[in-house]
């Protein structure tokens, strides 16, 4: 019995998961700081004299009655309160610390006692906001109740100012458009998930400096008044107690006037149902104010404000204003009293905003349509320069990849001081050379097909050349990143080169004619190309293993691409963001982002991005999230696209690869082996037998063979994976540790313990040379201890396991689930030394750690429960043994298990049943034990001997 299957589960086929153990110990980055808007006032329309003067800057809100929030003394749930930041009529905002995620947050504690429907409604709406992830919306992290009846919301802290303070500096109208476009994108994102803000105003937009770009970043905050737009509210009751002050009263039900009077729409004044166009009205009031330094209408009472909001009359622009007419017209449309006359959606308003700005830029620069033609159909002019008609490929790619850059990259790698830097560069350099040569060859072939052989139209040549130009810029972005290589880039250099966009897409005539590169109008070509350059740089960073660093830039790029409405850019930006989110561990966010990218690619007929997006969605949903049924429509969609494109070998191999990964996650060994084996054959056909792409597939197939008891086949696959990995990365690269570990497992299953220990010791030496405190060093020492125990050396095993335990406890803490395996191994060794109390204590400790981290029904509890059952039997406690082994079998029932381990469980059950007098059931359990141990081959020999001896004794 051992913990081998735990380690074999670390046979990850994709690089982004190889650092998962390390990432569990890394502190979360500390976010920025701000309280958001806290100056709020509540209004009760059924007790308000609408002729009374009101503070039109203050928020009116639908919150429960009950007085001020009762502040917590030191803690609120898990949060440690630091200080109060502000208070208003709707709630009090505190600065707090979240120890679970190691970050500071803003806690808004709402005033009044929230019970029943009101409490449920507020919590539901805060939870809806927590599911909204957008760079222009202040994130909501958590929602709960304080003292049972006061709702609190935990939000991000954003350092900076608010839009009102920034407007006071009187920015130019061009700057106003940039900032409001971001705020509008935040509102549009909320509208897309069914939320309406209902209190948009300058105070509720926070501004900070984006670390990635150095530019202002706008985030919409304080959705405390938000309601789902599909929920229609009954009208407010008639006014009561007309003399009540607007500053003193609160409302306790739906149907109230909600918002800030100066920014409220006619429908809000009327207390009727709102929808996203309500936010559009408030947005345009604020936009008008930012452009002209005054609001489009004013009033001292609610009645006066309501009357002017319902009127079509608006304040005229001040004399001498530089605001262009197109921008003024956008404001006026959004300020229409009849919401049917406004823009149908916030996205439509933002599109006009960006289109107007683009027209001005084209006039100012004298671009007209020339830049678009150069960017999209510029292949001919670009191709026809340089030496000869079609001989300029080497010169063009040579401008990106030459000896000077090669030397600079090699020096950058060496400067990191990593022991495997030279090997990593030796593996990556030939792949870069190959990409450059392939680019040159395709350039010359593209030109010759038209200019020499006359087989291809000039229009198609232009499209192919434009595609190649994009690829060359992607190549340049990666080379630039490699020139500035740090340790992470050195580690993932080969993967980054493999991840370069393939050149085969530049030969797909049908896709080029109908896809993203086909000539289509672009509102702002200069800005589009600038965005594309930023996307290339961020995408290169993410492919080199720096996804977390690239996230902010990719989020900003995707947002700007959406606002710009560039059909050749939006889907690609969303897809790049989804890949980075996936690699950073944000799988749910990646799923949502990728779905949007896929449908955008469908709309734009962008087959290349569509294909990549479908593969990524299959991997995220089907493998990482383990939702096979939910992934099936994406699998079917990808297969349909594959058939439409003629099922080229490369694409079919990719599809089979991902189908196989989904099968692995679902525990379908047979399905996984069939798909992955076919994918390997196709990859070998396309890329050759030594390509680095094969490493992950070989590991995946080997792990499947291992779980299925095919140990020699698994060994051969792992040996090949080690050889390919070493060729791609060098002999000291950390990526070698896992295939070496898997190789050791396959050798151990064949009772080749000395060879297994040698493979593990090599793996340990590689990791220790890079970082002696790496938790994986402890995991591998744990496995060495397990091998020693299985080879009949329990005393030596305990020495190694003690060192592994100390290492892991120092690196991960006392209760990390990765430490549980050490205790199971210790239990095995102490059992073999007849120290039954010590063995029981170790098994119980391992089970307790896993149960706390994973829950009582997790399959990983199987082996420590089996260990306890074995000690029960040795101490003549068969009833207790039966309870432990039945629970073990129940836990592992839904998992794919090593047949040797499963056979030992059935053997323990048979022994317990016979000892309790259930001879018939014991015979059936013994039969199952023999069947499982037989499937385990040589790995089951030890258990088979125990079974034979026990049956003979009966």
Could you list the active site residues? 199
3-state secondary structure of 609: helix
Q: How many CB atoms lie within 10 A of CB 83?
A: 7
**Element housing 107 (H / E):** strand 103-110
DSSP state of 193: T
Helices (H), 771-894: 775-790, 794-812, 820-832, 836-854, 862-874, 878-892
d(Cα 90, Cα 859) in Å, to the nearest integer? 48
DSSP state of 60: B
Q: How many CB atoms lie within 10 A of CB 325?
A: 9
**Angle separating helix axes 370-377 and 458-483, nearest 10 degrees:** 80
Residue with tokens 């452009």: 291
Looking at the DSSP assignment, which residues form a beta bridge with residue 76?
79
| Burial class of residue 338, CB neighbours in 10 A (0-12, 13-18, 19+) | exposed
Q: Are strands 216-220 and 205-209 parallel, antiparallel or unpaired?
A: antiparallel
- Spacing of C-alpha 234 from chain mean position: 40
Query: Of 690, 603, 699, 641, which Cα lies nearest the Cα of 508?
Result: 641
d(Cα 835, Cα 547) in Å, to the nearest integer? 49
Query: Of 45, 40, 90, 85, which Cα lies nearest the Cα of 64?
Result: 90
Structure tokens at 142: 């958590």
d(Cα 74, Cα 552) in Å, to the nearest integer? 33
3-state secondary structure of 108: strand
Q: Is residue 728 within 8 Å of residue 698, measured between CB atoms? A: no
3-state secondary structure of 791: coil
Q: What is the DSSP track for 369-403?
A: THHHHHHHHTHHHHHTSSSTTT--HHHHHHTTS-H
| Burial class of residue 792, CB neighbours in 10 A (0-12, 13-18, 19+) | exposed
Q: Is residue 257 within 8 Å of residue 45, measured between CB atoms? A: yes
Q: Is 108 annotated as belonging to a binding site?
A: yes
Cα 297 to Cα 129, 304, 334, distances in angstroms:
31, 10, 14
Q: Is the dihedral of CA 294, 299, 303, 308 positive or negative?
A: negative
Looking at the DSSP assignment, which residues form a beta bridge with residue 140?
155
End-to-end CA distance of the chain: 23
Structure tokens at 616: 């990524």
Q: What is the DSSP track for 586-608?
A: -HHHHHHHHHHHHHHHHHHT-HH
**Element housing 76 (H / E):** strand 75-76
Q: Is residue 469 within 8 Å of residue 378, measured between CB atoms? A: yes
DSSP state of 157: -
Q: How many CB atoms lie within 10 A of CB 241?
A: 11
Q: Which residues of 807-840 are buried (b: 16+ CB within 10 A; e: fewer)?
A: bbeebbeeebbbbbbbbbbbbbbbbbeebbebbb
d(Cα 229, Cα 242) in Å, to the nearest integer? 30
Radius of gyration of the chain (CA): 33
Query: Of 327, 192, 340, which Cα lies nearest the Cα of 266?
Result: 340
Structure tokens at 694: 């094969």
Looking at the DSSP assignment, which residues form a beta bridge with residue 196?
227
Specify binding-site residues for ATP.
108
Point out the annotated binding site: 108
């Amino acid at each position: 019995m051992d913990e081998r299957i735990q380690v074999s589960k670390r046979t990850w086929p994709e690089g982004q998961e190889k650092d998962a153990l390390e990432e569990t110990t890394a502190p979360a980055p500390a976010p920025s700081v701000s309280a958001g808007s806290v100056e709020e006032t509540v209004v009760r329309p059924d007790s308000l004299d609408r002729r009374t003067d009101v503070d039109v800057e203050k928020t009116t809100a639908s919150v429960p009655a009950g007085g001020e929030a009762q502040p917590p003394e030191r803690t609120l749930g898990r949060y440690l309160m630091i200080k109060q930041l502000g208070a208003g009529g709707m709630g009090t905002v505190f600065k707090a610390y979240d120890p679970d995620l190691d970050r500071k947050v803003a806690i808004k504690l709402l005033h009044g006692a929230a019970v029943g429907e009101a409490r449920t409604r507020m919590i539901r709406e805060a939870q809806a906001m927590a599911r909204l992830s957008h760079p222009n919306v202040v994130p909501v992290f958590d929602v709960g109740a304080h003292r049972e009846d006061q709702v609190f919301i935990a939000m991000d802290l954003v350092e900076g100012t608010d839009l009102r303070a920034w407007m006071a500096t009187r920015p130019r109208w061009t700057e106003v458009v940039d900032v409001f476009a971001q705020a509008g994108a935040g509102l549009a994102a909320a509208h897309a998930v069914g939320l309406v803000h209902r209190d948009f105003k300058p105070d509720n937009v926070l501004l900070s400096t984006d670390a990635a770009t150095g530019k202002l970043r706008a985030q919409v905050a304080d959705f405390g008044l938000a309601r789902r737009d599909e929920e229609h509210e009954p009208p407010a009751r008639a006014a009561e107690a007309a003399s009540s002050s607007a500053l003193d009263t609160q409302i306790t039900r739906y149907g109230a006037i909600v918002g800030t009077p100066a920014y409220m729409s006619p429908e809000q004044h009327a207390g009727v149902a709102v929808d996203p166009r309500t936010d559009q009205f408030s947005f345009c009031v604020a936009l008008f104010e930012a452009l002209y330094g005054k609001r489009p209408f004013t009033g001292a009472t609610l009645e006066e404000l309501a009357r002017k909001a319902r009127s079509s009359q608006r304040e005229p622009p001040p004399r001498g204003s530089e605001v262009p007419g197109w921008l003024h017209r956008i404001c006026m449309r959004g300020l229409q009293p009849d919401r049917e006359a406004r823009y149908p959606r916030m996205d439509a308003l933002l599109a006009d905003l960006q289109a107007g700005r683009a027209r001005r830029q084209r006039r100012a620069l004298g671009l007209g349509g020339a830049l678009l033609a150069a960017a999209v159909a510029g292949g001919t002019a670009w191709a026809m320069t340089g030496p000869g008609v079609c001989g300029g490929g080497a010169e063009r790619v040579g401008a990106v990849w030459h000896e000077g850059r090669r030397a600079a990259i090699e020096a950058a790698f060496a400067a990191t001081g990593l022991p495997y830097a030279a090997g990593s560069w030796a593996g990556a350099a030939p792949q870069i050379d190959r990409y450059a040569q392939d680019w040159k060859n395709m350039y010359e072939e593209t030109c010759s097909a038209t200019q020499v052989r006359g087989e291809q139209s000039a229009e198609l040549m232009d499209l192919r050349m434009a595609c190649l130009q994009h690829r060359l810029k992607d190549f340049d972005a990666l080379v630039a990143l490699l020139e500035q290589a740090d340790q992470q880039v050195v580690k993932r250099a080969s993967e980054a080169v493999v991840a370069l966009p393939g050149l085969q897409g530049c030969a797909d005539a049908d896709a080029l004619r109908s896809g993203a590169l086909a000539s289509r109008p672009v509102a702002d070509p200069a800005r589009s190309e600038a965005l594309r350059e930023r996307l290339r740089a961020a995408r290169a960073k993410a492919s080199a293993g720096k996804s977390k660093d690239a996230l902010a830039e990719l989020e900003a790029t995707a947002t700007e691409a959406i606002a710009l409405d560039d059909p050749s850019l939006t889907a690609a930006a969303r897809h790049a963001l989804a890949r980075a989110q996936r690699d950073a561990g944000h799988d749910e966010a990646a799923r949502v982002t990728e779905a949007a990218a896929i449908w955008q690619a469908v709309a734009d007929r962008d087959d290349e991005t569509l294909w990549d997006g479908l593969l990524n969605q299959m991997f995220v949903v089907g493998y990482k999230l383990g939702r096979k049924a939910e992934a099936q429509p994406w699998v079917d969609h990808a297969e349909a696209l594959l058939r439409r494109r003629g099922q080229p070998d490369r694409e079919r191999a990719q599809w089979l690869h991902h189908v196989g990964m989904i099968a692995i996650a679902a525990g379908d060994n047979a399905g996984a082996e069939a798909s992955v084996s076919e994918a390997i054959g196709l990859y070998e056909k396309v890329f050759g037998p030594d390509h680095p792409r094969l490493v992950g597939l070989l590991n995946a197939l080997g792990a499947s063979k291992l779980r299925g008891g095919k140990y020699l086949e698994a060994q051969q696959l792992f040996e090949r994976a080690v050889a390919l990995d070493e060729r791609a990365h060098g002999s000291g690269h950390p990526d070698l540790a896992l295939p070496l570990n898997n190789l050791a497992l396959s050798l151990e299953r064949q009772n080749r313990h000395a060879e297994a220990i040698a493979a593990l010791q090599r793996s340990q030496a590689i990791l220790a040379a890079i970082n002696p405190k790496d938790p994986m060093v402890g995991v591998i020492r744990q496995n060495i201890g397990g091998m020693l125990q299985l080879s009949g050396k329990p005393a030596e095993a305990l020495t190694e396991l003690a060192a592994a335990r100390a290492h892991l406890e120092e690196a991960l803490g006392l209760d990390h689930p990765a430490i549980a395996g050490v205790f199971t191994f210790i239990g095995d060794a102490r059992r073999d030394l007849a120290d039954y109390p010590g063995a029981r204590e170790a098994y119980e400790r391992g089970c307790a750690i896993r149960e706390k981290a994973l829950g009582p029904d997790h399959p990983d509890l199987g082996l420590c429960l089996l260990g306890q059952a074995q000690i029960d039997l040795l101490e003549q406690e068969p009833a207790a043994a039966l309870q432990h082994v039945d629970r073990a079998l129940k836990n592992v029932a839904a998992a794919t298990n090593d047949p040797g381990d499963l056979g030992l469980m059935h053997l323990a059950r048979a022994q317990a049943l016979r000892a309790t007098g259930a001879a018939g059931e014991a015979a059936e359990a013994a039969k199952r034990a023999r069947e499982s141990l037989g499937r385990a081959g040589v790995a089951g020999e030890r258990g088979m001997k125990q079974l034979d001896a026990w049956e003979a004794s009966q």
